[in-house]
Structure 1
Amino acid sequence: MNQSGFVFFLAVVVGTLAITYYAAKRTSNTKDFYAAGNRLTGLQNGLAIAGDYMSAASFLGITGSIALYGFDGFYYSIGFLASYVIVLYLIAEPLHNLGRFTMADGIAVRFRHKALRGAVAFNNIVITVLYMIAQLVGAGGLIHLLLDISYSSAILLVGGLMTVYVVFGGMLATSWVQIVKAILLVSSTFIVSLIVLSRFDWNVMGLFSSMSDITPLGDKYLQPGNLFQGPIDTLSFNLALVLGTAGLPHIITRLYTVKDARTVRSSVVTATWVIGVYYAMTIFLGLGAAALVSWEQLSRSNNLAAPLLAQALGGDFLMAFISAVAFATILAVVSGLLLAASSAFAHDVYSSIIRRGQATEAQQMRVAKMSAVTVGAVSIVLALGAQNLNVAFLVSLAFAVAASANLPVILLTLFWRRFNVYGALAGLFTGLGSSVLLVVLSPNVMEPAVGWIRAEAIFPWMNPGIVSIPLGFLGGIVGTWLTLRAEPSATGRFEHMQVVAHVAPDER
């Protein structure tokens, strides 16, 4: 066992549990549990958004992708960063003004329909569980590497900790874990980037030019086409990343943790700067790993490129520190995901549908905590079963579902006067069904030699976004036009929603 690693991991666990203990004393009602009492400042919430968004896939996966595939690997960084333009300009302020705790709250201001709220909640639970499984599987491999404990024990450790954070500390504990994680991640990435540059005499262009001699790809390393199978595959992937963020449930819930729209705008701007600086530095991590870690190790342990780079730069001590930061990254992200999933069930399904808004605070809190335990347990079981499976595509699938199902419903609700509840249901299920079906028919699942389905892929591209996202919008539009007479009051409620979405409460 790496002794330094054990100390760093212990420090992360003790620190995050201390945050949870502090937050538990300040979490007494549903507003505290779901939205941190709307008490976060723009800076705090911006750091928390960044911490929630910069996942293990970002820290571990992007570094490995850039190291192995060069230019194509950097598409991850570009897509993740560009997505916040959509969040800032189209959805952040309107959804904050419309909702209380979840995305379904905002939709319900215009469409007070139980089936639609239930469908939105179901879709959001699917997205968060897919995302959570991938994070937990990554945690299992990382902790197994550093602490030499079994994969199952690692999954149970991370799953148990995330459940404790949410059940006892709610959104406040989750937010502060994410804030601390964001600061640690950006700081550690900055330190490693400086060490990498120092190895190349602070010559950035020299670092780039050396790649053609160091990697087996040669001159192709800095050219597109090493990872994605043609321009359409590349476009499909980037569409899902850029548009999917605006539909991710755990990002939308963060819009409700501040007091007003101005603070929401400040939060997203802060998050964009933090995320932008971080993703710019992933270039140095990826190139450094390509230059300083053997190609055999990278090919065998792609998702561990960052810890392997740290080991090459500073031995076991630096590797232990970077691995502990990755551990904190996973804890922060899975906590946010678990809270989003439990909120979707407890607030949208139990309180709003089953109890029709009549549940007491005590009942809502009890169900919220029970749902957090249940969703956490289900995710842990699924992650344990996914140990030997290739689950890397689950993150891209979550983005594709969010972009294909959630985003069309959000945008058409906010900006199309004729849009109605039947169009919303049609768009939601068309986007969800098409994205899942196309992934099943893609090379992610269908592959003659090692695929889950041993056959030639029917859908040729790895990501379904280029087809499923237009289908989501088309489903909403066609569903609305076919049922215009069924809901004649939809246009009238649009006027009310516009006032609530764009006018401050004290000015209405």
Structure 2
Amino acid sequence: MTGDHQSLALLLFLAFVALTLAITTWAGRDRHGSPEEFYAGGRLFSPLENGFAIAGDYMSAASFLGISGLIALFGYDGVLYSVGFLVAWLLVLFLVAELVRNCGRFTLADVLAARLRERPMRIAAGTSAVTVSVLYLVAQMVGAGSLIELLLGSTGGAARAWTVVGVGALMVVYVAWGGMRATTWIQIVKAVLLMGGAIALTVLVLVRFHGDLGGLLGTAADRSGHGRDFLAPGLKYGGGWTARLDFISLGLALVLGTAGLPHILSRFYTVPTARAARRSVVWSIGLIGAFYLMTIVLGFGAAAVLGSDEVRQSNPSGNTAVPLLALDLGGGQGSTGGTVLFAVVAAVAFATILAVVAGITLSSSASVAHDLYATLSRRPERTPRSEVRVARLAAVGVGAVAIGLGLLAQDLNVAFLVGLAFAVAASANLPVLLYTLFWRRFTTRGAVWSVYGGLVPAVLLVIFSPVVSGAPDAIFPGVDFQLFPLSNPGMVSIPLGFLAGWLGTVTSREPADAARYAETEVRALTGAGAA
């Protein structure tokens, strides 16, 4: 893009950034700075508002850019991401949402500390939450960089690098100044914009093919370069036993990971009751389900309208498929309609990234301040206000780490990167959460072993996987210290998390506290005594 068209697109970007900063300023003024206000927005949001915010938090750059790109490149195998992300919400609805709202105050560690020894649990859960959050943030940074690089027509990587830095700086401002209240309203605005943009593009794709889904799929297969194999399983995950196991590993991570994501769990604390938390999830499932169905149309639409080769040429991982599709549907390169539609879609995608990184950063800074600092600090003058100050400083630190890792992973698909974060969440957080809520004999040793028994193997397997080295598209393609053949560690690390929790419990000399479990069970099921 050049000239006036590029200026229009940049203007829309700046307009949204200005809007979000205005929301942050409004939300951040006249607040008393208590942890409840900063972490949970005062618990004043309705189920509808929180449902939109959850959807805004969940429908990330991985969903809008990454999944559609994977479908455009790999057809049927890319659809796995849409299905996995959506099915995961059934687990959240039936097993997690209401119980977590009743048992905790601000973080996952609150749920665990309700029946287990507080200090070791907060340290373990806080460490895990920060690790998962940083991995998730990296994916959003990569998506933002790919988007800006396409917008500016740059191929040297400088635009991507500066965008990663800029997004990191913005997310620190959102969290440090506005807290949960600002973050929630940004996510609500983003969810409305994203659904509107996805609906408009889906309608345009269907109009292009006169509502003929068979014609859409047939054209996508023809232009993919793979023929009918594009519509059948195996194009990405069917090359051999390693690829098939990777497919299973990814599926487990996507379906089980959502219930362990810290920034999703923290959203249940922004409503006044457990019933409101459950209704929030129902609203979010409706929005998220409709959205993921549209990503399938957009992915196959990009393959049919543009061709897989053009998508790959723009970005090897497919992250720019949707903006390029918008450009073509609006009239093509150089047309005013194409430029306007491209700019709107790019701005919506950028809004998606900003909203999600704000939510993740808030969650991770809450874990640092409320769990790690509150547990490890022995300063007698520590107060709730000092905890909030630490949370704001933690946002800066988390942002700096995410920026550094985002610069390293710029060439990886954002949906793939999110799959890694889901695997770590499912390995470290889900086992200990389910054991705490449903296993009467569970002990503190079992909980600590469960967290670290899932977290450490998951991170190590990623480090020694083809994602980091030993492959042409690895983070460090010039070196090879690959030891683990799978790109996603979920198939190994998730069972290890459950196994470590069981083993730690059965070998523990400390008996389970039956009274505290009974109290937790009553509180989880009835809401009696919930904050």
Is structure 2 residue 493 aligned with structure 1 residue 468? yes
Deviations 1:283-314 (A, max 9, x none): 11011100111433211211000000001111
Correspondence 1:62-77 to 2 at 5 A: 62-77=67-82
Match of 2:105 among 84, 100, 104: 100
Per-residue CA shift, 1:256-280, capped at 9, x if unaligned?
Answer: 0000011000000111110000000
Which residue of 178, 192, 204 corresponds with 2:213?
A: 204
Answer with 303-312 or 228-237: which moved more.
Answer: 228-237
Q: Classify 1:226/1:401 alpha carbon distance in 2 versus 1 (closer, same or farther; 3 Å).
A: same
The residue that corresponds to 2:287 in the other structure is: 274
224-233 vs 97-106, which deviates more? Answer: 224-233
The answer for the alignment partner of 1:9 in structure 2 is 13
Measure the CA separation in 2 of the matches of 1:350 and 1:35: 18
| TM-score, normalization by structure 2 | 0.91
Equivalent position to 1:190, from 199, 222, 228: 199
Taking the aligned partners of 1:455 and 1:506, their CA distance within structure 2 comes to 54
Asked if the contact 2:142–2:411 (Cα under 8 Å) also holds between the matched residues in 1, the reply is: no
- Equivalent position to 2:28, from 24, 27, 41: 24
Structural mapping, 1:168-187, within 5 Å: 168-187=177-196
CA–CA separation in structure 2 for the residues paired with 1:472 and 1:391: 25
Residues 134-173 of structure 1 aligned to structure 2 (within 5 Å): 134-147=139-152, 150-173=159-182
Tell me the equivalent position of 1:289: 302
Match of 2:397 among 374, 391, 396: 374
1:254 correspondence with 2:267: yes
Pairwise CA distance, 1:13: 0.7
In the other structure, the counterpart of 1:479 is: 504
Separation in structure 2 between the aligned mates of residue 497 and residue 114 of structure 1, nearest angstrom:
18
| CA distance in 1 between partners of 2:407 and 2:483 (Å) | 29
- Give, as a single letter, the amino acid of the residue that structure 2 aligns with 1:462: S
Please state how far the C-alpha of 1:202 moved relative to its aligned partner. 1.4
Confirm or deny: 8 A CA contact 2:35 2:384 kept in the other structure.
yes
Determine if contact 2:85/2:255 at 8 Å carries over to the other structure. Answer: yes
In 1, distance between residues paired with 2:58 and 2:120? 30
Answer with 436-445 or 326-335: which moved more. Answer: 436-445
Contact 1:425/1:476 (CA < 8 Å) preserved in 2?
yes
CA distance in 2, matches of 1:492, 1:472: 26
* Residues in 2 aligned to 1:135 and 1:357: alpha-carbon distance in whole angstroms: 39
The offset of 1:316, in angstroms, is: 1.6
Q: Distance in 2 between matches of 1:265 and 1:359?
A: 35
Structure 1: runs of 5 or more not aligned: none
Greater shift, 322-331 or 2-11, is seen at 2-11
Shift of 1:507: 10
Q: CA RMSD in A?
A: 2.1
TM-score after normalising by structure 1:
0.95
Does the residue aligned with 1:505 lie in a helix, a strand or coil? coil
Deviation at residue 152 of structure 1 after TM alignment: 3.0
Q: Is the 8 A contact 1:27 1:170 kept in 2?
A: no
Task: Compare 35-44 and 200-209 and name the one that shifted more.
Answer: 200-209
For residues 185 and 358 of structure 2, the distance between their equivalents in structure 1, rounded to whole angstroms, comes to 11
Letter in 1 for 2:77: D
1:55 aligned partner, one-letter code? S
The code of the aligned residue for 2:319 comes to N
Q: What are the residue-to-residue correspondences of 1:233-252 with 2, within 5 Å?
A: 233-252=246-265
Contact 1:27 1:169 (8 Å CA) reproduced: no
Cα distance in 2, alignment partners of residues 431 and 469 from structure 1: 6
Q: Indicate conservation of the 8 Å contact 2:150/2:320, yes or no.
A: no
Q: Which residue of 1 aligns with 2:450?
A: 427
Residue 91 of structure 1 corresponds to which residue in structure 2?
96
Give aligned-pair identity as a percent: 49
Measured at CA, do residues 456 and 20 of structure 1 come closer, stay the same or move farther in structure 2, by a change above 3 Å?
closer
The alpha carbon displacement at 1:415 in A equals 0.4
The 8 Å contact of residues 412 and 473 in structure 2, kept in 1 or not, is answered as: no
Q: How many residues align?
A: 506
